[in-house]
Amino acid sequence: MTTSYGTFTIKDHLFTSLMPSSDAEPRQWTIVVTRGDEEVRRETLEMLYAPVFGADVGDVAALNERVEAIIKELGLE
């Protein structure tokens, strides 16, 4: 089971980032973009560190970079 790390909306698109909630899960972010009831994009991004006490600052920076790229790819800037 994953844990929600954060969500935001831009131009009717809801971005949700999920992170592992235990060591039994893959060490990766899951980025989900939806518009209404339609899933527009779902991607995973490897994390360098297990989020024992929360996400590592480097992993968060990589997540932010990928989300910014997705925003550009979808023409939402």
User: 10-residue block means of pLDDT along the chain (77 residues)?
Assistant: 94 97 92 98 96 93 98 96
pLDDT of res. 24: 87
Record the pTM. 0.93
Is the alpha carbon torsion for 36, 39, 44, 50 positive or negative? positive
**Domain range summary for the chain, segments of one domain joined by +:** 2-73
In 11-46, at which residue ranges do the beta strands (DSSP E only) sit?
Answer: 13-20, 28-35, 38-46
pLDDT of res. 23: 84
Q: Measured between alpha carbons, how far is 30 from 2 in angstroms, rounded to an integer?
A: 9
pLDDT of res. 2: 87
Type of residue found at 2: T
pLDDT of res. 11: 96
Angle at 26 between CA 63 and CA 59, to 5 degrees: 25
